[in-house]
Amino acid sequence: MFFRDRCRREAMAAGLAGWARNLPDGRVEVVAEGEPEAVERLQRWCRQGSSQAEVTSVEALDEEPEGLSGFSTC
């Protein structure tokens, strides 16, 4: 299973809204909104990723919520 889809599943299980997309340089950008504990749970998952992922770093930024609904992969 690919990182973005697994991330989407993890986010939905945590009750988060947002999206995950591939960037041209090979990185994945994830935006997630929801309860702080759920966002932290997704951040922890992102640091490890799926069994087939190679995660080298995670950068987390706090931003104002946009009022997103659902979680998609772009």
* Per-chain mean pLDDT for the chain: 92
Helix, strand, or coil here: 44?
helix
Out of 4, 6, 8, 41, the active site residue is: 4
Is residue 71 within 8 Å of 8, Cβ to Cβ? Answer: yes
> Is residue 8 flagged as an active site residue?
no
**46-70 pLDDT, tens digit each:** 999 888 888 889 999 999 999 999 9
| Helix, strand, coil shares, percent, the chain, to 5 | 30, 20, 45
> Is residue 22 flagged as an active site residue?
yes
Whether 73 shows a pLDDT value over 80: the answer reads yes
Domains annotated on the chain, with CATH: 3-60 (3.30.70.100)
Mean of pLDDT values over 28-45: 96
Whether 1 shows a pLDDT value over 70: the answer reads no
Out of 6, 9, 22, 41, the active site residue is: 22
pTM of the predicted protein model: 0.87
